[in-house]
Chains A and B, each alone.
Chain A
């Protein structure tokens, strides 16, 4: 079920009313209701994959319990490997089987060997990368003795499948989210109204900005070879806002929806395009994933505890894996490698005591660097990406594809309005029209946003980009 669909507009109030009716009476029933609602939400897309979600969750629930009770180090390791193996096998099979099969074939043919591998007709289950990571973190934390497992299966299943963040995050840690399933809930005006306002901003970012600029981005990126470097440049600039509006918008809707049920989800984006360094960028972009990789990959690899070379290698490896997490395509691997390189170069510059750039220069530079990496993220193939980069930097040509002037005008209006909001929140945090102390200003702002969404939003039921990851 998509957040920007009528189905969800009907589903949410029903679940909301049932939830608050039940939550006042019994936490057990409340969790059972959330579990049922979450499975309905997920099954709306394809009910067959519910078994996958249930299987992954049940394995981690039981392995988590056993890991906690077991004292023998070797047996604990076996249990831990079992949990990781199951999750990574599911992810590997459904997401990466064809990618690795194709890559093997290409590698063999590159060396002049004919080799054929059978491709499987595999459907990628929506959000599999998100819920397996959330479930894995539970087992890892118990293995590290940082978390006590729950003995309430229903609550655990509800935690893994919690519908607001099930298919595109934020990827929550059990230590933060799971205890909230056991706390009695009380309705508060502040919480509800705050949740609805967050959702409103999320919808604005999704349907007014992301889906609108996507029309131009698709027109250019789906016809690589037919456009000038200027058009690729504009399309890439738009894509930076498309992916941000799409993903941050989804996260905001998820956070706002969770608040309606009395749950607090972690912040996932913090105006990343105002970052003055790539290190800061990753502290502001997809925070739940970057902290996941930091805690469960970068630090176990050795983090910055070893030699400098080892630290760089760990950083680069983490970003390479992060790239692969985003999709089974070499374009994503390249995207990860570019960001890994940025991190390494930045650290090197720091260690060599290079002078720090002023913010007015470093912020645009980081944005341009991020855009360069987005080319690889958005392009269909690595060859296409190189063609685009070449056209932008070496042979921009003449003219720019404008396409439909209406779409272009609304795209620019959406992007600059979002930029204005971001600047206001970043530099004038006390000036929030949505939370203004004077009620008419708040109402007028909400009304203006609703009108803008209805009049200029794109309502074709388009998918959130991050579902595919």
Chain B
């Protein structure tokens, strides 16, 4: 038994050493990434000082052109969206940003059925490499699993499954958007006719998910409390006109109660009937994204200018 315990202790000690050494190396790769997913997340959490912040999932990442927003509003813009993410990720990024400064404008992209589903904390696990340097996101990440705080003691675990996207930018750049795109992930392809035929059916009407709604409410309240001017946007999907879903109804209610302008594009025939604007049924391509962002900022601009005038009078 003594021999076994000694051997177990040796293995654990070696594992701890490898864990720390590998952790340093991986931290270095994360911090020096020339672009890509980890660069973007690090920028959002630690560097961004832009006036306008865009927050959303893959639709947020592909549909909002930072350059167009900057040129139109005359303000700097960073698109902090990330594909496959939802409210838990948005809340974590929000914590990282508000910990440093309060952006003047926040554009929040909400998918038309976002709040009907429980928030996916597991997906927010992509933030694990940032756990140790960011205590403000612990309360979000600790919910990804029961003993997450314990597992996070391992630096190797923090980088679990991340290697491909961590190393890729050192060899190929621009796949998640160039650094000059400021968070936007442009997609040049136009969707195929086949894709247009195999559309996802519209989900049945469902009640709101209380957990998702609570996260959304907290997100909105926190930005407003910090004085950020918020806009909520539901972006278009090809071939699916959604004028009203439980989520959209809730956004309308929030818009009224909190005085946050809401722009619903999911029923806008100028987009949803034009396959040339889409890279797949859910995401706009470069042409579509530019037109969409231009149209959005056309509506937003007067409100932002008005808000700035009010602020300067205060």
Asked if chains A and B come from one complex, the reply is yes
Residue in contact with A443 in the complex, picked from B1, B3, B11, B159, CB distance below 8 Å: B11
A460–B122 alpha-carbon span in the complex (Å): 8
The reply to whether the CB of A189 lies closer than 8 angstroms to some CB of chain B is: yes
A189–B8 alpha-carbon span in the complex (Å): 11
Contacts A6-B150, A187-B1 given; indicate if A461 touches B161 (C-beta within 8 A). no
A409–B165 alpha-carbon span in the complex (Å): 11
B-binding segment of A270-278, A421-429, A445-453 = A445-453
Assess whether A447 is in contact with B4, with CB atoms less than 8 Å apart. no
Total contacting residues, chain B, CB less than 8 A: 29
Total contacting residues, chain A, CB less than 8 A: 26
The reply to whether the CB of B28 lies closer than 8 angstroms to some CB of chain A is: no
The reply to whether the CB of A78 lies closer than 8 angstroms to some CB of chain B is: no
CB B81 to nearest CB in A, in angstroms, measures 18
Contacts of B145 in A (CB 8 A): 6, 459-461
Residue in contact with A455 in the complex, picked from B4, B10, B147, B160, CB distance below 8 Å: B160
Residue of B nearest to A410 (CB): B161
The reply to whether the CB of A309 lies closer than 8 angstroms to some CB of chain B is: no
Interface residues of A in 197-231 (CB under 8 A from B): 226
B1-44 interface code vs A (CB 8 A; 1 in, 0 out): 10110011011001100110010000000000000000000000
Contacts of B122 in A (CB 8 A): 460
Assess whether B161 is in contact with A458, with CB atoms less than 8 Å apart. yes
Assess whether B146 is in contact with A450, with CB atoms less than 8 Å apart. no
Assess whether A447 is in contact with B164, with CB atoms less than 8 Å apart. no
The reply to whether the CB of A405 lies closer than 8 angstroms to some CB of chain B is: yes
B146-164 interface code vs A (CB 8 A; 1 in, 0 out): 1100110010110111111
Assess whether A456 is in contact with B160, with CB atoms less than 8 Å apart. yes
Residue of B nearest to A407 (CB): B161
Residue of B nearest to A404 (CB): B164
Contacts A447-B11, A450-B15 given; indicate if A189 touches B4 (C-beta within 8 A). yes
Residue in contact with A454 in the complex, picked from B146, B157, B163, CB distance below 8 Å: B157
Contacts A6-B147, A443-B14, A455-B159 given; indicate if A405 touches B198 (C-beta within 8 A). no
Most buried by B among A410, A455, A458: A455
Contacts A406-B163, A459-B145, A459-B151 given; indicate if A450 touches B11 (C-beta within 8 A). yes
Assess whether B160 is in contact with A189, with CB atoms less than 8 Å apart. no
The reply to whether the CB of A193 lies closer than 8 angstroms to some CB of chain B is: yes
25 contacts between A and B (CB under 8 A): A6-B146, A6-B147, A6-B151, A187-B1, A189-B3, A189-B4, A405-B164, A406-B161, A406-B163, A409-B164, A410-B164, A447-B11, A450-B11, A450-B15, A451-B15, A451-B22, A454-B154, A454-B156, A454-B157, A455-B157, A455-B160, A456-B160, A457-B160, A458-B161, A459-B160
Given contacts A6-B151, A406-B161, 4 further A-B contacts (CB under 8 A): A192-B4, A455-B22, A455-B157, A459-B151
B: which residues have CB within 8 A of A? 1, 3-4, 7-8, 10-11, 14-15, 18-19, 22, 122, 145-147, 150-151, 154, 156-157, 159-165, 198
List 5 A-B pairs, minimum CB-CB distance, nearest first.
Answer: A406-B164, A6-B147, A454-B156, A192-B4, A189-B3
A: which residues have CB within 8 A of B? 6-7, 187, 189, 192-193, 196, 226, 405-407, 409-410, 443, 446-447, 450-451, 454-461
